[in-house]
Amino acid sequence: MAAAASPPGKRRRELDAEGLEAAGPEDKETTEAGIGNGTAASARFPFSGFRVKKVLRESARDKTLFLHGKVNEASADGNGEDAVVILEKTPFQVEQVAPLLMGSPELQLQFSNDIYSTYHMFPPRQLSDIKTTVVYPVTEKHLQKYLRQDLRLVRETGDDHRNITLPHLASQSLSIQWVYNILDKKAEADRIVFENPDPSDGFILIPDLKWNQQQLDDLYLIAICHRRGIRSLRDLTAEHLPLLRNILQEGQEAILQRYQVTADRLRVYLHYLPSYYHLHVHFTALGFEAPGSGVERAHLLADVIENLEHNPQHYQQRTLTFALRADEPLLQLLQEAQKS
């Protein structure tokens, strides 16, 4: 087994829909895979202009804003193309903030009463960056995915999965080429934290897009298995136990070695439904309330391993509960099956 010790970089691709509280069976295709890996150089957007058409979603709690806009409207046909830009305020870094407070920061008083006062502070450029994710070009499927939607809980039996969910997925265009680009080291090779290269029981461990790698409070990495054809939790049997044990043990050891975060401070889990259909496992800081880590979606890897040890067909037989957006066609198909 080989570990890659290159310094963290950044990748430019669509926000992992693991960040959505409930994801439909959508694809996670990369936009121009392999571009912008691990560079801090000045850059430009891959389009000209951005005319805001709609605010798809905003969150004061998460400090995020999802915008749908028209770009390249000055092109020959004048119609332009659709793009999504996601803006997110980056977390504070104490080593940068402390010197600012010791100096004379630019302030505007908003409120003062006895010992309490509130200000607007205007930080210097190095403290005011905004993480910006570009999804371009986008389809209607992308726009619907990022649009805030009401959620509904649904229960899926093993028969439902075989007779409804799988045929529905087969009817969708679900590209995961960006996953294969990572596994084949055509993209993001410089960001690999650890790799077990075994083609059957190995995996690659890589930082998730949602983590800027500047602090450990929101640590977030993804283990992507080398073996192809394992789509989700539902496919797992006792045959996959060596792979799952490798991911759990070696992933925890790699994170301890690189980030000095012990196994008892990690949440290690799979999503069902996943946001893309190639088996992957999430490693997040235990104190971080990562999107998608709720009980209706997250399955602890240690529990998955134990369930398979007791019953190799556990996930083919068990009824699983998960959330879907109210407009997701799969929700209607499953609800109709339950009525019949």
Residues β-bridged to residue 69: 52, 83
pLDDT of 186: 95
Q: Coil, helix or strand for 99?
A: helix
Rounded Cα distance between 278 and 231, Å, is 5
Please indicate whether residue 280 is annotated as part of the active site: yes
Picking from 11, 74, 29, the residue whose alpha carbon sits closest to that of residue 47 is 74
Among residues 280, 282, 299, 314, the one annotated as catalytic is: 280
pLDDT of 40: 61
What b-and-e string marks burial along 86-103, b requiring 16 or more CB atoms within 10 Å of the CB?
bebeeeeeeeeeeeeeee
Q: What is the mean pLDDT of each run of 10 residues along the chain (340 residues)?
A: 39 38 37 43 86 89 89 82 91 80 87 90 84 89 81 95 94 86 95 97 94 90 97 97 98 98 98 95 95 94 98 97 91 90
pLDDT of 340: 75
Q: How many residues does the chain have?
A: 340
Can you give the pTM of this predicted structure? Answer: 0.71
pLDDT of 163: 96
Say if residues 256 and 195 touch (Cβ distance below 8 Å): no
pLDDT of 173: 67
pLDDT of 7: 36
pLDDT of 102: 83
Q: Which two tokens stand for residue 15?
A: 């926000």
